[in-house]
Amino acid sequence: MRLLLISNSTNAGEPYLEHPLEQMKTFLGETTINALFIPYAGVTISFDDYTGRVRNRFQEIGHDITSIHEFEDPVQAVEHAQAIVVGGGNTFHLVKMMQEQGLLDPIREKVLAGTPYIGWSAGSNMACPSIRTTNDMPIVEPISFNVLNLVPFQINPHYLDANPEGHAGETREMRIEEFIEANPGMFVVGLREGTMFLVEEGTIQLLGPRPARIFKKDFVPQELGTGADFSFLL
136 catalytic per annotation? yes
Residues 6 or more apart whose CB falls under 8 angstroms from that of 124 comprise 5, 6, 7, 155, 157, 191, 196, 197
Residue 162's pLDDT is what? Answer: 73
Instruction: Spell 146-162 as b/e; 16+ CB within 10 A means b.
Output: ebbebbebbbbbbbeee
* pTM as predicted: 0.96
Per-residue pLDDT of the chain (234 residues; tens, 9 = 90+): 999 999 999 999 999 999 999 999 999 999 999 999 999 999 999 999 999 999 999 999 999 999 999 999 999 999 999 999 999 999 999 999 999 999 999 999 999 999 999 999 999 999 999 999 999 999 999 999 999 999 999 999 999 987 667 766 688 999 999 999 999 999 999 999 999 999 999 999 999 999 999 999 999 999 999 999 999 999
CA dist 98 and 104 (Å) reads 6
In contact, 53 and 16? CB cutoff 8 Å:
yes
Give dist(CA 180, CA 187) in Å, integer.
8
Q: What is the pLDDT of residue 164?
A: 66
Is residue 231 annotated as part of the catalytic site, yes or no? no
Confidence at residue 170, expressed as pLDDT on a 0 to 100 scale = 80
Distance CA 88, CA 76 (A): 23
User: What SS3 string covers 15-51?
Assistant: CCCCCCHHHHHHHHCCCCCEEEEECCCCCCCCHHHHH
pLDDT at 223: 98
Q: Helices 104-112 and 91-100: crossing angle, nearest 10°?
A: 90
Catalytic residue, chosen from 158, 161, 167, 218, is: 158
pLDDT in tens, 114-126: 999 999 999 999 9
**Which candidate in 9, 121, 124, 130 is catalytic?**
121
Q: Report the relative pairing of strands 64-67 and 154-157 from DSSP bridges.
A: unpaired
Determine which one of 136, 218, 229, 231 is catalytic.
136
pLDDT for position 161: 87
Whole-number average pLDDT of the chain = 96
Contact 187, 230 (CB under 8 A): no
- Specify the pairing of strand 117-120 against strand 2-6: parallel
Q: How many CB atoms lie within 10 A of CB 90?
A: 21
Model pLDDT for residues 176-189, shown as the tens digit of each residue? 999 999 999 999 99
Query: Using CA of residue 15, residue 20, residue 22, residue 24, what is the dihedral sign?
Result: negative
Domains of the chain: 2-233 (3.40.50.880)
pLDDT score of 168: 61
**Between the CA atoms of 182, 205, 115 and 65, what dihedral angle is there, to the nearest 10 degrees?**
100
Identify whether 158 is a catalytic site residue: yes
